[in-house]
Amino acid sequence: MIKEKRKFVNVTPLSSKAKNRFVNIMESFHACEVEQEKDGMIFLASINKKYFFWLQREGNEHWRIDK
């Protein structure tokens, strides 16, 4: 059985709503695991697996994807 390599990205919260979720749900961990990629969107899971969200590859007003 071949184990697929897990992919991660780091995100930074930009809006007050995102900052609140980042601190209270994501426990201030920037890294998220990429669960799925589709049509320029990525589905992310926080490291603690308590927060899941779709994000445009280019980011949006709530989150920035850090390189």
At 35-49, the pLDDT tens digits run 999 999 999 999 999
In this prediction, residue 58 carries a pLDDT of 82
* Residue 21 to residue 16: CA distance in whole angstroms: 9
* Rounded-to-10 torsion of CA 57, 60, 17, 55: -20
In this prediction, residue 54 carries a pLDDT of 97
In this prediction, residue 57 carries a pLDDT of 87
At 2-61, the pLDDT tens digits run 777 899 999 999 999 999 999 999 999 999 999 999 999 999 999 999 999 999 988 689
Considering the entire predicted model, what is its pTM?
0.88
Strand order in the sheet with 8-13: 52-56, 41-46, 31-38, 8-13, 63-66
